[in-house]
Structure 1
Amino acid sequence: MLKLVKPDIQYQTQYREMLDDWRASGEEPKPWVLQKDCTDFQALVEKLEGLSRGINVPEGFVPSTTFWAYDNETDQIVGAVNIRHSLNDLLLEAFGNIGYGVRPGARRKGYATTILKLALAECKNLNLKRVLLGCYRENVASARIILKNGGVLENEVFDNDSGKLIQRYWIEIE
């Protein structure tokens, strides 16, 4: 059964295995917080906990809570989700409140849909009433997942950094 867990030292082995899967694929880990240095794993856990409390948030960022998606049947971390507590101008323009990803070896098993569903429940706990998500237009799988979870397409915007169109979706939190 899949559940969202807060970053914790007890998941160090599973976390490193997930990162190895990302590295082997040649893809950058998603969401962005998976790209943080984990050499000192305890420091990583503390940094993520601090970001969730608004401590040491880098300039230009907002407080955010990270969860790892843990499947207790396989004893694997299959992905992660990062929930931004508010939107600054950059987040409002493109990728919004929620970023999530599933490790390459665990895709096409329904994990992403469940991760987003569980993340939306956590948004309610954070008193968010409405959240914005964005995905590249060519990422049809992600768009489908957002739509399955109640997403309503607002518009598409051009991302100068990637040269791609980003689809922006809003989801009402019930």
Structure 2
Amino acid sequence: MNRLKLVLPTPEYKDEVMDYKREFIENGDSIDGSAGLKNADTFEEWYSALCDNSKEETVREGLVPSTTYMAISIENGRLIGMIDIRHRLNDFLLNYGGNIGYSIRKSERQKGYATEMLGLALKECERINIKRVLITCDKDNIASAKTMVNNGAKLENEIPEGNRITQRYWIELD
């Protein structure tokens, strides 16, 4: 499948990013892998934080350096999903968040995009020398678990977190 490309966000994508956020809010969905887009009042606020958090020297307190990509349709330029690669793990990410978080807009789900997007992100992980990738999901998120397994993930364990269970999957990269 070559339907998507990963693109770094830039101000030129402001309208697409804000439309992506709107769709998630309207559907009451969690915007995972979007570098805090849900909590940003404006594109500029979000983009500033995204840029700060992309470098060790400027990462905001409590976070780790990460690179956030937009998954763009090669065919029509539509923003399909977002995926965030965390360059290292802190204690919270080791237990609950992992190296990668991602989301697909509701109108584009169940089309195989998540599997393709994660595969592209794993190539980026290799490029920045992350050899072992941790990805997590809620136990009831069957689609996300399938996406990870389709990319070679192996379930290590399950961790209770309040009233939910987090599944922890590892992918070994060559």
Shared topology, TM-score over 0.5? yes
Aligned partner of 1:51 in structure 2 is: 53
Which of 117, 130, 135 aligns to 2:137? It is 135
Indicate the residue corresponding to 1:35 in structure 2.
Answer: 38
Q: Percent identity?
A: 42
Tell whether 2:21 aligns with 1:7: no
How far 1:47 sits from its partner (Å)? 2.6
Q: So what's the TM-score if we normalise by structure 2?
A: 0.91
Q: Quick one: distance in 2 between partners of 1:28 and 1:83?
A: 17
| CA–CA separation in structure 1 for the residues paired with 2:16 and 2:74 | 11
Q: Is the 8 A contact 1:152 1:170 kept in 2?
A: yes
Equivalent position to 1:117, from 116, 119, 125: 119
Match of 2:101 in 1: 99
List gaps (5 residues or longer) in structure 1.
none
Q: State the superposition RMSD in angstroms.
A: 1.5
1:14-41 deviations in Å (ceiling 9; x for gaps)? 11221121122122322252224152x3
Report the AA paired with residue 135 of structure 1.
Answer: C
What is the CA-CA distance between 1:86 and the residue it aligns to?
Answer: 0.6
Residue 173 of structure 2 is matched in structure 1 by 173
The verdict on how the C-alpha distance between 1:13 and 1:21 changes in structure 2, with shifts beyond 3 A counting, is same
Quote the offset at 1:156 in angstroms.
0.6
Long gaps (5+) in structure 2:
none
Alignment deviations for residues 94-138 of structure 1 (CA, whole Å, 9 cap, x no partner): 221000010111111111001100110010111101010111111
**What is the SS of the residue equivalent to 1:171?**
strand
Distance in 2, matches of 1:9 and 1:90, equals 31
Question: Counterparts of 1:93 and 1:50 in 2: how far apart (Å)?
Answer: 24
Q: Secondary structure at the match of 1:93?
A: helix
Q: TM-score, normalised by structure 1?
A: 0.91
Aligned twin of 2:25? 23
Q: 1:130–1:171: 8 Å Cα contact kept in structure 2?
A: yes
Contact 2:132 2:172 in 1 (8 A): yes
